[in-house]
Amino acid sequence: MAHAQRIEFSKDLESLRSFLPSLLGVMGRSPDWYPSIWFERKLRRAFSASLKNTDVTHSRTAGLVLRIYDGRTLHEFATESLEPGFLIESARRFSDRILNARGTAVGPIRTYMAPSWTERLRGISEREILEQIPSSPGADTPVHFGIKYQKDPRKLADSDVIGQLKETLGRMRRTAQRAGLAESELNYAAARAGLALEESMFIDREVNLSQSLFRVSVTAVAMSGSNRTVHQEGGLGGLEAIEIPDQPIQDMMSDLHALKAAARIRPGRYRVLCSPDISGVLAHEAFGHAQEGDTCARGRSKAWELHQAGTRVGNEHATILNNPALFENAGKPWAAWGSYFFDEEGWISNSQMLLDRGLLRAPMTNLTSAIRLGVPRTANGKRESWANGVYTRQTNTYFSAGDKTFQDLLQQLGDGFVATQSAGGMEDPKGMGIQVGIAWLKEVRNGEYTGRVFRGPAGGDINLTGFVPDVLNAIEAKSKIEWDTEEPDSARHPWNDTGGCGKYHKEFVHAGCGGPWMLLNGVSLG
Amino acid sequence: MRLWNLQELKNILNAAPVIKGWVITQESLNRRERYFLMDSGRLAIDQDREARDFSIRLRVFVRLGAQQDRQGESSIKLHGDQPLEPQLKALLEAASLADQAIWELAPSPVAALAPVQGHDPAIAEDIHAAMERLTTRLAGAIAVVQGAQFNSAELFVGLHEREQHFSNGLTHRSLQTRIYSEAAFSATGSGISDEYLETRWSSLEKDLPIEELVRESAERARHMIQVAPAVAGTFPVMVDSEVLLALFNGHLAQLSGANHYHELPCLKIGDPLIPSARGDLITLHLDPALEGGADTVAVSGDGTPQMRRTLVRNNRVEALVMDQQHGQYLGLPVGVSRGSVVIDPGTRSKQELIESRPRVLEILQLSGLFTDENSGTFGSEIRLARLHERESGRITYIKGGSISGSIQENFADLGLSRETIRRCHFENGVPSGSGYSGPAWVLLSDVSISG
């Protein structure tokens, strides 16, 4: 195994880092304001090889956000221009505008001051974070966090990436034939890769933070007619995170073959064994979104009321966590997709229990929702890009692991379905409904696969829906993290898959979601 | 500090023998955003932000040595504060590794491009004043609501100024405005509470009925706490323009040259759009000149002048969505590739459509509509619906369960309303939006509902 290293802070950003603290002085026009700065830069290479085309694209986006919280409102001015003269003038005009509007603002003032290092590190135990912080850091101490990697993505030439994608494409075509698909039946196949270096800085009067992450992914897509199967590998780390073994490609092609004869499910209630991918979507939509502090502060989440009332909303298996500090993914040496060292408002990452055996804990927060709700800050302030606003967002959301192997669960399922491929989801934080999309279902009788595959009643995806507490009370059992062996788990956290998340219908961000295999009894499918 | 200018960039591109074509798109974005909530009983602004972006995106097409029938293509966002040479070097290296069958950008148009109106002049003139005006309207609308609790709202106003330069000499400038509004209200009664979130995009302020949106959100929040569960079965289902926008814009893929070329599911000229259609027949146009449309453009990204085109007439496909690349590959005429979907209205009113069946499930909102453009299938949880029963005149509000449908099957016995509406949908970072103009409601048949 190659020796692990951490990404260093890019040298070409050092002059910007030295300059930015001076803007805090320009913005700090009132002693009770909380000024801060967020900067991000994303350098990405994207590749695609299909049966007909090969594409290569390089992109570089960068932008800076000037922020002032004045006790009532978080004001932001975001720009792509990093020219110092422009930024000083913008900071001056920005703070002038807030000063001039002071008389028209309404509501009580809740003053907030930049938290100290001591406050930010309270409760942090993740070694991967603590190891990178120098002893006794001060406001002027530049603290950098770099993601660990073994194989440097920057050293892989474009031509080599394309070569690897074409090799994957070749494997897909060969495997398709072995799975029983004639060459003409594989009408579309593509392999795609994304290699990105994402860097960011957060600066206020108490901290000067930076982080550098490699975000790497590879995706295989195959189609036969309108049937489609997909497999994605990825994470935050080096190229070791995007090697596609043969097994998932074999699974893709045998699923594609089976889908040609898929039957349509009759709407009803069934026993379902959900893959980690789908149990993650369930966690994310159930008490991920409902536990977003800004949704609570807006009066739009039932979870806030249920948390305060101490109402039980699930059984003993219903434990959900959110954790941006997943620097090993189910024992694999790369970070889960939604991980980072600090959020976009400068709060240090930590694991958080959202639902503990059916009882709701305090919500995740961004800055303004923590202030409004009077609950602790968590590292969940995220935005789609520097040009978008910040909200409370999930990072990696998952159910805790159980004690069964997959074979145990299959036996316990008896008659029902196994769901392996997710197809989106949607939250309903106030109404407590849930929608979890499932691309297809594999039928099981007496604990064994029958070979039959089912799609939705109209031939499309299947939706698992219901009232969230009912669904969380329907959890019958969960698998271990290492579900294919009876040995005790060696990994600390369950697997989290690559994914994306919208806030209702917009503001798309990266998010990981996962957990164990999970057996649900009597849930509605249609 | 800018290290180079547009003319210098053009000179370099024109002088490089390996480059066979290029497109430069300059875009300036100015966006205002506000998030509103209640604070101590008063409407307050939780976040107030402004974002400004200026970008130069360059797309190049390069020759690939001895391969006369192949070419490379790539694009990059150029940065004016960075030296040009290394940025172009990286771009050309990337393009030389890409590989596609050869095609050419459109020839320079002989006539002036027809003017189109994709922006709201008042917003373009003063985006800050527009935000204040919309805030006043929103606050006024919220203030008069009774019987429901205001939770939150959002207002976004954006101005996109674009300038496209093509290697064939064509230069085109355009403006686009985007407005987003949402309002969420909740209601409480008999020990339960629930909410309703209404969202709307538009290009023109006159198309954004904030007052109606607020009133409807509050009214539907009150219904959310008086719901029955869905009953499983198949129903005639009425859907609104929000659903139609998503379904028809997705289904355009099956009319596209790209799908034909990649051997993805597609329709050919002469095919029925809906097999076994027996209800109102669909006539569908793609209109890049629609005033206030989400994709109102005079010229496409490959330099082709855009004009409204009828793609489907009375359910028969009569033209395809064809850009230069795929038109040249397939040997088919190049035509319209951008624009809003326009559907001819029907002859019956919404009420007449509802009364045409013993019972109709009217979808007021789907939780999360997911569509598959390849299969034409769609599905979602039902956030709020109402069941109309003709004989008794009873209306029952429904929440929960899911809808599962297919354009090919459930559009067969279609009813198009005569009332029409224009809608837009935009996504951040995506230059073109999805537009719809046509029947405000349609009645589908035999749609599967799960309980």
Which pair of tokens denotes residue B124? 């373009």
CB contact under 8 A, B195 and A223: no
A93 vs B281: CA distance, rounded Å? 57
CB contact under 8 A, B383 and A297: no
pLDDT band at residue A504, thresholds of 50, 70 and 90?
confident
Whether the CB of A74 is below 8 Å from some CB of chain B: the reply is yes
* Residues A385-395 pLDDT 10s: 999 999 999 99
pLDDT of res. B112: 86
Please report the residues numbered 126 through 155 in chain A whose beta carbons come closer than 8 angstroms to any beta carbon of chain B.
Answer: none
SS3 A497: strand
Mean pLDDT of chain A: 96
Whole-number percent of chain A with pLDDT over 70: 100
Whether the CB of A104 is below 8 Å from some CB of chain B: the reply is no
B365 vs B383: CA distance, rounded Å? 5
Tally Cβ neighbours within 10 Å of residue B88.
19
CB contact under 8 A, B149 and A299: yes
Please report the residues numbered 76 through 115 in chain B whose beta carbons come closer than 8 angstroms to any beta carbon of chain A.
Answer: 76-77, 79, 81, 90-91, 93-95, 97-101
* Residues A460-472 pLDDT 10s: 999 999 999 999 9
SS3 A346: coil
Pick B6-224's CATH classification: 1.10.40.50, 3.30.2290.10, 3.40.50.150, 1.10.600.10. Answer: 3.30.2290.10
* Residues B109-168 pLDDT 10s: 888 888 899 999 999 999 999 999 999 999 999 999 999 999 999 999 999 999 999 999
Question: Cβ neighbours of residue B95 under 8 Å, at least 6 residues apart?
Answer: A56, B60, B61, B62, B72, B73, B74
CB contact under 8 A, A59 and B76: yes
Phi/psi for B47 (5° steps) reads -140, 145
Contacts of A56 in chain B (CB under 8 A): 74, 94-95, 97-98
Separation in Å, CA of A144 to nearest CA in chain B: 25
| pLDDT > 80? residue A105 | no
Separation in Å, CA of B372 to nearest CA in chain A: 7
- The answer to whether B372 touches A462, Cβ cutoff 8 Å, is no
B384 vs B363: CA distance, rounded Å? 6
B332 vs B376: CA distance, rounded Å? 24
Contacts of A159 in chain B (CB under 8 A): 97
Which pair of tokens denotes residue B358? 């013993």
pLDDT of res. A104: 75
Whether the CB of A302 is below 8 Å from some CB of chain B: the reply is yes
Q: How far is CA B6 from CA A230, A459, B43, B169, in A?
A: 42, 51, 46, 14
* Residues A175-190 pLDDT 10s: 999 999 999 999 999 9
What Rg value do the Cα atoms of chain A yield, rounded? 24
CB contact under 8 A, A384 and B428: yes
Tell me which chain A residue has its CA closest to the CA of residue B230.
A466
CB contact under 8 A, B99 and A54: yes
Please report the residues numbered 284 through 343 in chain B whose beta carbons come closer than 8 angstroms to any beta carbon of chain A.
Answer: none
> Which stretches within A63-157 are classed as H helix?
84-100, 117-121, 127-130
- CA dihedral angle for residue B35, residue B37, residue B40, residue B45, rounded to 10 degrees: 20
SS3 A109: coil
Please report the residues numbered 385 through 444 in chain A whose beta carbons come closer than 8 angstroms to any beta carbon of chain B.
Answer: 385-390, 423-426, 428, 430-431, 433-435, 437
- The answer to whether A295 touches A393, Cβ cutoff 8 Å, is no
pLDDT of res. A2: 63
CA angle B180, B75, B79 (to 5 degrees): 75
Average pLDDT over residues A432-448: 97
Query: In order of start, what are the domains of chain A with their CATH numbers?
Result: 1-250 (3.30.2290.10), 263-525 (no CATH)
Separation in Å, CA of A123 to nearest CA in chain B: 28
Counting Cα atoms < 13 Å in the Cβ hemisphere of B217 gives: 28
Residue appearing with tokens 């004016």? B80
- CA dihedral angle for residue A314, residue A316, residue A318, residue A321, rounded to 10 degrees: 130
Whether the CB of A465 is below 8 Å from some CB of chain B: the reply is yes
- The answer to whether A334 touches A496, Cβ cutoff 8 Å, is no
Whether the CB of B434 is below 8 Å from some CB of chain A: the reply is no
- The answer to whether A30 touches A68, Cβ cutoff 8 Å, is no
Q: What residue ranges do the domains of chain B occupy?
A: 6-224, 228-450
B122 vs B127: CA distance, rounded Å? 8
Beta bridge partners of B176: B160
Separation in Å, CA of A261 to nearest CA in chain B: 15
Contacts of B228 in chain A (CB under 8 A): none
CB contact under 8 A, A389 and B449: no
Average pLDDT over residues A417-424: 96
Please report the residues numbered 21 through 60 in chain B whose beta carbons come closer than 8 angstroms to any beta carbon of chain A.
Answer: 29, 31, 33, 35, 37-40, 42-55
Which pair of tokens denotes residue A441? 């279902």
pLDDT of res. A3: 76
Contacts of B81 in chain A (CB under 8 A): 82-83
Whether the CB of B362 is below 8 Å from some CB of chain A: the reply is no
- The partner residue sitting opposite B97, judged by closest CB among A50, A158, A435, is A158
- The answer to whether A441 touches A453, Cβ cutoff 8 Å, is yes
Contacts of A507 in chain B (CB under 8 A): 428
A355 alpha-carbon distance from chain centroid: 18
pLDDT of res. B81: 87
| pLDDT > 70? residue A1 | no
pLDDT band at residue A344, thresholds of 50, 70 and 90?
very high
Tally Cβ neighbours within 10 Å of residue A102.
10
**Nearest alpha carbon to residue A522 among A269, A251, A278, A308:** A269
pTM: 0.96
Please report the residues numbered 4 through 43 in chain A whose beta carbons come closer than 8 angstroms to any beta carbon of chain B.
Answer: none
- The answer to whether B398 touches B194, Cβ cutoff 8 Å, is no
A384 alpha-carbon distance from chain centroid: 12
Tally Cβ neighbours within 10 Å of residue A331.
13
* Residues A6-20 pLDDT 10s: 999 999 999 999 999
Whether the CB of A374 is below 8 Å from some CB of chain B: the reply is no
Which pair of tokens denotes residue A305? 């009321």
Q: Is A77 exposed, middle or buried (0-12, 13-18, 19+ CB in 10 A)?
A: buried
pLDDT below 70 — which residues of chain B? none
- The answer to whether A351 touches A89, Cβ cutoff 8 Å, is no
Whether the CB of B379 is below 8 Å from some CB of chain A: the reply is yes
**Nearest alpha carbon to residue A481 among A468, A496, A470:** A496
pLDDT of res. B429: 81
Interface A-B: count of C-beta contacts within 8 A: 269
B271 vs B148: CA distance, rounded Å? 50
ipTM associated with this complex: 0.96
CA angle B371, B375, B377 (to 5 degrees): 40
**Nearest alpha carbon to residue A49 among A198, A219, A201, A232:** A219
Contacts of A466 in chain B (CB under 8 A): 400
Residue appearing with tokens 């089976």? A258
A515 vs A402: CA distance, rounded Å? 9
pLDDT of res. B120: 97
Tell me which chain A residue has its CA closest to the CA of residue B408.
A458
Please write down the HEC assignment for all residues of chain B: CCCCCHHHHHHHHHHCCCEEEEEEEEEEEEEEEEEEEEECCEEEEEEEEEEEEEEEEEEEEEEECCEEEEEEEEEEEECCCCCHHHHHHHHHHHHHHCEEECCCCCCCCCCCCCCCCCCCHHHHHCHHHHHHHHHHHHHHHHHCCCCCEEEEEEEEEEEEEEEEEECCCCEEEEEEEEEEEEEEEEEEECCEEEEEEEEEEECCHHHCCHHHHHHHHHHHHHHHCCCEECCCEEEEEEEEHHHHHHHHHHHHHHHEHHHHHCCCCCCCCCCECCCCCCCCCCCEEEECCCCCCCCCCCECCCCCECCCEEEEECCEECCCECCHHHHHHHCCCCCCCCCEEEECCCCECHHHHHHCCCEEEEEEEECCCEEECCCCEEEEEEEEEEEEECCCCEEEEEECCEEEEEHHHHCCCCEEECCEEEEEECCCCCCCCEEEEEECEEEEEEEEEEC
Tell me which chain A residue has its CA closest to the CA of residue B446.
A458
Separation in Å, CA of B438 to nearest CA in chain A: 23
Which pair of tokens denotes residue A27? 């913005």
* Residues A17-66 pLDDT 10s: 999 999 999 999 999 999 999 999 999 999 999 999 999 999 999 999 99
pLDDT of res. A107: 82
Contacts of A431 in chain B (CB under 8 A): 194-195, 224, 383, 399
- The partner residue sitting opposite B401, judged by closest CB among A106, A297, A465, is A465
- The answer to whether A328 touches A320, Cβ cutoff 8 Å, is no
- The answer to whether B323 touches B257, Cβ cutoff 8 Å, is yes
Which pair of tokens denotes residue A367? 């800055």
Amino acid letter for position A125 = S
* Residues A111-158 pLDDT 10s: 999 999 999 999 999 999 999 999 999 999 999 999 999 999 999 999
Amino acid letter for position A260 = K
Q: How far is CA B225 from CA A307, B61, B190, B219, in A?
A: 21, 58, 8, 11
**Nearest alpha carbon to residue A215 among A232, A234, A230:** A234
